[in-house]
Amino acid sequence: MSTIPEIEFAELATLDWRNESLSYAQLKAKLPRPEMNSQTAAETVQQIIDDVRAHGMETLKDLAARFDHVQLEHTRVPQHELDRALEELDPKVRQALEESIDRARVFAKAQRPQDAEASYAAGATVTQRWVPVRRVGLYVPGGLAVYPSSVIMNTVPAQAAGVSSLALASPPQKEFGGLPHPTILAAAKLLGIEEVHAMGGAQAVAAFAYGVDMPNDERGGIEPVDVISGPGNIFVATAKRLVKGVVGIDAEAGPTEIAILADASAVPGFVAADMISQAEHDANAAAVLVTDSAELAASVRTELVAQVAATKHSARVKEALSGAQSAIILVKDLDQGIEVCNAYAAEHLEIMVDQAEAAAARITAAGAIFVGSYAPVSLGDYCAGSNHVLPTSGTALHASGLNVNTFLKAIQVINYDKAALGEVAAHVINLANAEDLPAHGDAVAVRKAH
């Protein structure tokens, strides 16, 4: 077997599993993952949540001064600022946002589930109705990049679900006078969102979950929401975990990740470019190549040397690719590669192998699958029509990406008349007695004589 020359981009680790037979548990334990310690974050976040609940807007203003270095009188962004942001938006960016919105709406509309009904006899039906939640809080992060695309990805499914009240939060920016980034505001305006708040971090999550009462302020406070969605840093993710149950959440988003399943037919330059595209998010981003071709792996390393040096955020990319969460994994064949990918359960999984569609059909755990050489993750980030808010950190084993169902509740409606109840009355009474809950049976028996 050929080996990979370690002189080419030595920062990226190599895991050679070609001669290993790993159980599922061993495989999961050995997969590259970011080293995250959320215990300290949990203590800090809980204090922030408690302060927001106790002191409301005063805490939000204090934290904006401490963390964002801005002085706020109120979090609510005035309508004229939303109007101005859209008026001043680069026409090319506006056109791109509009195209992204249109495509996302087509896919979201197609996801809307149908009500279901089962009939057991005359007068005995059970129906399931899909009902939108009342109000949603959408979180759009600040940080190292600007994410108008996240405004689209969070808003469109909620609107398609029929949610009547939407509020958006994004961190205040000192360079924009304490407002969120103007491109965020412009995207919100394009989507018809009227309630936008300049608040970020765990405090924004707390404000959405518990509300902020300001009865004497003409702008009003912040009404509690039923669901909070949107990605963020470890403090946002931790806050969402701590308020889960008070509100619904989409997921606890961790650092972004890409896995690429590739064979000798893949174009090395494409593979390297796609690894870099996710590594530029932040230093904790993960990029994993799974391949049965040592030659491809060597060529990708060579490409990485050139492309990393040329990319704008080179230092950030190098840090991500040299972290414990990134690696090249050598496998003996495609079957083992698919096994690795299903255990890894990547947020984004690209498949660049011969017969890519057949390989994609064998994937059972991934946030989104990008099939073939011309479906890079960045397509899904912006204009594929799919949603880019996806499960991370292996949670795609059991979780789904953001979709219309995130903002819907399934309500079951049971409609039985007297005759229909009579047909199953004895079964209900017998089961109630078997569970030593005789009053359950009595609630049926009392109706038999009426």
Cβ atoms of 189 and 155 closer than 8 Å? no
Instruction: Give the 3-state secondary structure of residue 133.
Output: coil
Which member of 195, 252, 257, 347 is catalytic?
347
Which member of 348, 350, 357, 427 is catalytic?
348
Residue numbers in the known binding site for NAD(+) are 139, 203, 233
Distances (CA, A) of 88 to 82, 83, 84: 10, 9, 6
Residue numbers in the known binding site for Zn(2+) are 278, 281, 381, 440
- Per-residue exposure over 357-392, b if at least 16 CB sit within 10 Å of its own CB, e if not: eebbeebebbbbbbbebebbbbebbbbbbbbbbbbb
- Report d(CA 13, CA 298) in Å as an integer: 12
Question: Could you confirm whether 348 is annotated as catalytic?
Answer: yes
Alpha helix locations (H) across 163-263?
A: 182-191, 201-210, 234-243
Q: How many CB atoms lie within 10 A of CB 130?
A: 17
Question: Could you confirm whether 88 is annotated as catalytic?
Answer: no
> What's the distance, CA 57 to chain centroid?
28
The single-letter code of the amino acid at 153 is M
Task: Sort strands 408-416 and 257-262 into parallel, antiparallel or unpaired.
Answer: unpaired
412-415 long-range contacts (CB < 8 A, ≥24 apart) are 412/126, 412/127, 412/128, 412/129, 413/126, 413/127, 413/128, 413/129, 414/126, 415/123, 415/124, 415/125, 415/126, 415/127
Cβ atoms of 335 and 329 closer than 8 Å? no
Nearest to 322 by CA among 18, 14, 36: 14
Task: Sort strands 348-352 and 327-330 into parallel, antiparallel or unpaired.
Answer: unpaired
Residue numbers in the known binding site are 139, 203, 233, 256, 278, 281, 348, 381, 435, 440
Nearest to 97 by CA among 154, 170, 149: 149
- Measured over the CA atoms of residue 192, residue 194, residue 197 and residue 201, the dihedral's sign is negative
Residue numbers in the known binding site for substrate are 256, 278, 281, 348, 381, 435, 440
**Catalytic residue IDs:** 347-348
